[in-house]
């Protein structure tokens, strides 16, 4: 028994160290993503141009399918494969357009990263403080390790992006199923 305790201790330390490295990887991934978006924001001539410039990069770093699935909720399983793909594309466009509209070229926010907190295996939350145009915001990024770290939700001042859209999209689903959700997403993207 006593010879197993040191071995168990070494194994627990190794797992803790491995988890800490993984969490640090999430923070670095987030920093790189935000820096890349800010770099493009400085160069973009318009919000629309910024959205187009960052979409390919964000599609590799943000779990838009996961976000869409969670925003739609249980009704997601009733979408056909084609409808799911349409929903992901429309939701991705909506999020990127909304995100891009928040930037003003040449005005960079000051972001303080506060490390990361493991919420579940392969999931972390990275709290930040963002100061932009004289206002301070608490922004927390939820990330999951699936084929690399991916952002799967953003909470601003305690309000989850996914939960906010879920209340809207769930109502659309209950009123008319998948077609109603797609129509709502198309309408929002066209305004």
- Extract long-range pairs of 11-18: CB within 8 Å, 24+ residues apart: none
- Extract long-range pairs of 100-107: CB within 8 Å, 24+ residues apart: 100/41, 100/44, 100/47, 100/48, 100/50, 100/51, 100/54, 101/47, 103/37, 103/38, 103/41, 103/44, 103/47, 103/50, 104/133, 105/41, 105/42, 105/43, 105/44, 105/45, 106/42, 107/132, 107/133
| SS3 at position 3 | coil
Per domain, the residue ranges of the chain are 4-190
Q: Which pair of tokens denotes residue 185?
A: 């997403």
- Whether the pLDDT of residue 174 is over 60: the answer is yes
Range 136-162 average pLDDT: 94
pLDDT at residue 184, rounded to an integer: 94
- Whether the pLDDT of residue 136 is over 60: the answer is yes
Fold held by 4-190? Nuclear Transport Factor 2; Chain: A, (3.10.450)
Quick: pLDDT tens for 11-63: 433 333 334 445 668 999 999 999 999 999 888 888 899 999 999 999 999 99
Q: What is the pTM of this model?
A: 0.83
């Amino acid at each position: 028994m006593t010879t197993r305790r040191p071995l168990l201790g070494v194994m627990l330390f190794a797992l803790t160290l491995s988890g800490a490295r993984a969490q640090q990887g999430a923070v670095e991934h987030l920093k790189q993503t935000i820096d890349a978006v800010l770099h493009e924001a400085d160069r973009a001539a318009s919000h629309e141009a910024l959205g187009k410039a960052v979409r390919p990069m964000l599609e590799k770093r943000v779990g838009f399918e996961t976000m869409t699935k969670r925003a739609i909720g249980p009704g997601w399983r009733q979408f056909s494969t084609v409808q799911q793909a349409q929903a992901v594309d429309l939701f991705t466009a909506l999020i990127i357009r909304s995100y891009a509209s928040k930037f003003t070229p040449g005005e960079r926010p000051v972001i303080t990263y506060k490390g990361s907190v493991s919420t579940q295996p392969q999931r972390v939350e990275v709290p930040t403080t963002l100061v932009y145009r004289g206002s301070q915001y608490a922004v927390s990024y939820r990330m999951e390790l699936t084929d690399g770290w991916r952002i799967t939700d953003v909470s601003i001042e305690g309000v989850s992006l996914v939960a906010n859209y879920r209340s809207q999209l769930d109502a659309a689903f209950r009123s008319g199923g998948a077609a109603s959700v797609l129509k709502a997403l198309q309408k929002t993207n066209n305004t």
